[in-house]
Amino acid sequence: MDDNAPTSILLVDDEPTLREPLAEYLTAQGFAVTEAASAAAARSVLTEMRPDIVLLDIMMPGEDGLSLCRHLVETRQLPVIFLTARGEATDRIVGLELGADDYVVKPFEPRELVARIRTVLRRISRGTSPQQEMQDWHYAFEGWMLNPLKRKLTDPEGVTVPISTAEFRLLRAFLDSPRKVLDRDLLLDLVQGRAAHLFDRAVDNQISRLRRKIEADSRDPQLILTVRGGGYRFATQVKRVPPAPEA
């Protein structure tokens, strides 16, 4: 992304009475907005561009927002904010566990949405911006490798293992602080941001999903250990290694 280019947003909502005025408002705030009226239209747009963030309605005809979100976070690692009329906690938890970064319940104040967009982008930037000398170095542990810039996780056989945005943040936090206890409040903030306090179980579910991907036996974890009353601890050595030179 060009540092001088405006932040690009893909706005996916089937309601033109909401989508069109919101697109105008966001454009006036300095964002570059592309609209899509369905998940199918969004997929078509994504063949031509990579937005910086996606604003995604959940309830749409055809493919719903939950299905599209799963695709966005697992295959494209795009940050997602849900725009939803469904305010029940269970609906929000499902969306957040799929890897969405935040949610806004309709009707909402556009200024709040802009604040949440900027918060999500700042959070992501803190995790991936090349601000340190070793920022592009990879994390190595137990034969596994994590490329933090590409958010690419490979197993000991060199096979890429897809991870969601939330799973990446959790793993990155553990790899940055191996053998240290990370309390649940910190991990909740990494996973859900401002919504964290509403979903105490969300971080535990994300930990379970991450364990299923990197542990030899997720029922008897050896890497991510539970510290009763304290949080979680990554219990193995982590090394930073330079990326292999390109052929």
Rounded average pLDDT over 40-62: 93
Instruction: Flag whether pLDDT at 128 surpasses 50.
Output: no
Instruction: Flag whether pLDDT at 98 surpasses 80.
Output: no
- For the beta carbon of residue 220, count every other beta carbon within 10 angstroms: 8
- For the beta carbon of residue 202, count every other beta carbon within 10 angstroms: 20
Give tens-digit pLDDT for 227-243.
988 789 999 999 988 77
Burial of 127 (0-12, 13-18, 19+ CB in 10 A): middle
13 vs 209: CA distance, rounded Å: 29
Give tens-digit pLDDT for 150-179.
889 999 999 999 988 888 888 998 998 899
Q: Strand pairing of 138-141 and 144-147?
A: antiparallel
φ/ψ (deg, to 5) at 170: -60, -50
Which range (54-63, 120-129, 168-177) has the least confidence?
A: 120-129
60 vs 81: CA distance, rounded Å: 15
pTM over 0.75, yes/no = no
Please tell me the total number of residues recorded for the chain in this structure.
Answer: 247
Give tens-digit pLDDT for 65-90.
888 998 887 787 788 999 887 655 55
Q: Is the peptide bond before 107 cis (omega within 30 degrees of 0)?
A: yes
